[in-house]
Structure 1
Amino acid sequence: MHDYVIECQNLETAYAASLNRPILNGINCQIKQGEFVVLLGLNGAGKSTLLRSLVGLVPIERGTIQINGVTMNPRTLTAIRRDIGMLFQGGGLIRQLSAIDNVLCGCLGVRTTWQTLWGFGKRDRLLALKLLEQMGLSEQADQKTAQLSGGQQQRVAIARALIQSPQILLADEPITGLDVIASQQVMQTLAKLHSQQGMTIISVLHDLRIAAEYAQRAIVLEAGRVVYDGPCNNLQAQFSQV
């Protein structure tokens, strides 16, 4: 067991002319197993870029990323991704598919081409139904996701991310565009995964109050650098709106 599930050292992305600097400009951070961490900062600070770099979606020019003690590179990326679930902004669902079929799509990354051609087996479908039930969506399993509310769609997306049984869940602005009730439902779902299953969760947020309510720790970025790394309970006293 490694002390940290995620270690980032001196991360730097390519130079961004629009910002007159790299988006990530020397990021150092470590995250332990079972932490609930939020990434905060103004637009352009590098929050989503940092999150996406942890699954190899953003190329790093300098520095290193280690996940569970394994250094990320083209040879190790597939194995690293098996331990990570990703929740994209807006859910990233296929609206024409049913909720259960969207959840099953979360299996595709770990299946061979032949397995994909044969379709999903009974065990996969039962697991998908179980995950939807945990999200309070068993009655919506066969509905097209286009017919679901924003909050329901985001919980389908969480179930899709969980079908691979990841150790780490990354959530990129999971409540953007949702109303207050739906936002609470999504954040409570993440909090339950953290408290009951011990899952490591890293989420990009914009609301200091919500961060303080649900997360243990905040990493605040400014101009591609870490300007705060500590408890969430005193954020509003230290920062204005981020």
Structure 2
Amino acid sequence: MNDYVIDCQNLETAYTASLHRPILNGINCQIQPGEFVVLLGLNGAGKSTLLRSLVGLVPIVRGTIQINGVTMNPRTLTTIRRDIGMLFQGGGLIRQLSAIENVLCGRLGTRTTWQTLWGFGQRDRLLALKLLEEMGLKEQAYQKTAQLSGGQQQRVAIARALIQSPQILLADEPITGLDIIAAQQVMQTLAKLHSQQGMTIISVLHDLGIAAEYAQRAIVLEAGRIIYDGPCHNLQDHFSPS
């Protein structure tokens, strides 16, 4: 048995007429526990598709995905998802709800229908408040999400993912549309989760400089294939215009 937390073998998606090829076209990669990995590449390269395939949001027509030694299929998907937190582009929050209510939504997948009808208990609420405080959002806990800045909303989304106690955090373009300060705050939060909690983090990014500053390893995709898999510190040398 290997020690990989994620093991992808020969992943291929369905043929896409607009691209004249599969979005993923023979992807092989392994990720160790506790790595901070960024997925890079131009639009249409397959970055977000690869990330979403790791939680079964994109169907794979060929190849296998193993998470913590469990092969992904319809029967194992629920079990696999318990170990994974997902941070969507733009946060994916419900803007009419408060910050704490959005965080508590992260608990819905672990509750029965009857438990959901009775609402959330004191333990869940205290945990949600603690996570928001760790995100620097204690004062905004009961504000509607629509009233928060983009960076604050993304940190609420991180807290919502963390309330699941995931081993792995997947972040799909978590800083898109944010100003420089907000983007730095979000990336620093991810880096802290990695360094202090040993969390495995995989994030889709566009900026080589930010990738080099915060992550350990980069996987660069082009036309559905991996063209680079290695350290982040020399990305500029490999991919900057000459």
TM superposition shift of 1:240: 3.1
Identical positions, percent: 90
What amino acid is aligned across from residue 160 of structure 2 in structure 1? R
C-alpha distance in structure 2 between counterparts of 1:10 and 1:118, whole Å: 45
Query: Are 1:164 and 2:138 matched, yes or no?
Result: no
Q: Is the 8 A contact 1:2 1:68 kept in 2?
A: no
C-alpha distance in structure 1 between counterparts of 2:213 and 2:7, whole Å: 25
C-alpha distance in structure 2 between counterparts of 1:74 and 1:134, whole Å: 35
1:76 corresponds to which residue? 76
Matched position secondary structure for 2:226? strand
1:193 corresponds to which residue? 193
Match runs of 1:209-224 below 5 Å: 209-224=209-224
1:46 corresponds to which residue? 46
CA offsets, 1:12-46, max 9 Å, x none? 00000000000000000000000000000000000
Matched position secondary structure for 1:109? helix
1:64 corresponds to which residue? 64
C-alpha distance in structure 2 between counterparts of 1:163 and 1:175, whole Å: 21
TM superposition shift of 1:109: 1.1
C-alpha distance in structure 2 between counterparts of 1:112 and 1:229, whole Å: 41
Q: Is the 8 A contact 1:8 1:28 kept in 2?
A: yes
Query: Are 1:207 and 2:226 matched, yes or no?
Result: no
2:130 corresponds to which residue? 130
Aligned Cα RMSD in Å?
0.9
Mark the runs of 5 or more structure 1 residues left unpaired by the alignment.
none
Q: Is the 8 A contact 1:34 1:200 kept in 2?
A: yes
Q: How many residues align?
A: 241
What amino acid is aligned across from residue 11 of structure 2 in structure 1? L
Matched position secondary structure for 2:176? coil
C-alpha distance in structure 1 between counterparts of 2:63 and 2:187, whole Å: 32
CA offsets, 1:85-131, max 9 Å, x none? 00000000000000000000000111111111111000000000000
C-alpha distance in structure 1 between counterparts of 2:2 and 2:155, whole Å: 30
C-alpha distance in structure 2 between counterparts of 1:121 and 1:154, whole Å: 25
Matched position secondary structure for 2:142? coil
TM superposition shift of 1:2: 4.8
2:17 corresponds to which residue? 17
TM superposition shift of 1:69: 0.1
C-alpha distance in structure 2 between counterparts of 1:33 and 1:130, whole Å: 25
What amino acid is aligned across from residue 95 of structure 2 in structure 1? R
CA offsets, 1:181-205, max 9 Å, x none? 0000000000000000000000000
Matched position secondary structure for 1:74? coil
Q: Is the 8 A contact 1:34 1:194 kept in 2?
A: yes
Q: Is the 8 A contact 1:107 1:164 kept in 2?
A: yes
CA offsets, 1:52-104, max 9 Å, x none? 00000000000000000000000000000000000000000000000000000
TM-score (norm 2): 0.98
Q: Is the 8 A contact 1:26 1:225 kept in 2?
A: yes
